[in-house]
Amino acid sequence: MECLDPVVFFLSGALITGGALFLWAQTRRRTAYGRYVSAEGRCCPARLGWFLQEDVDYIFYTGVMTGRGSADQL
């Protein structure tokens, strides 16, 4: 598979530009965080949140290993 230099260059530039714009936006507005946030909205227990976050990686890599046949082919 060949490297597509223009695509990599464009996506890298978009990532850097987006990061700079996000940093600029975050310095313009103050938001509450941690214990200063009210408990409104949906929430799930921390253990369930951790499990769901890590479960995606497990399912993805298990699917990759199953689809490839063996680890030697990676």
pLDDT in tens, 42-55: 778 889 988 988 89
Average pLDDT, integer, range 4-9: 88
List b or e across 26-60, with b for residues whose CB sees 16 or more CB atoms inside 10 angstroms. Answer: eeeeeeeeeeeeeeeeeeeeeeeeeeeeeeeeeee
Look at the pTM and tell me if it is higher than 0.85: no
* Residue pair 34/40 in contact by the 8 Å Cβ criterion: no
H runs (alpha helix) in the chain: 5-28, 46-68
CA distance 4 to 28: 37
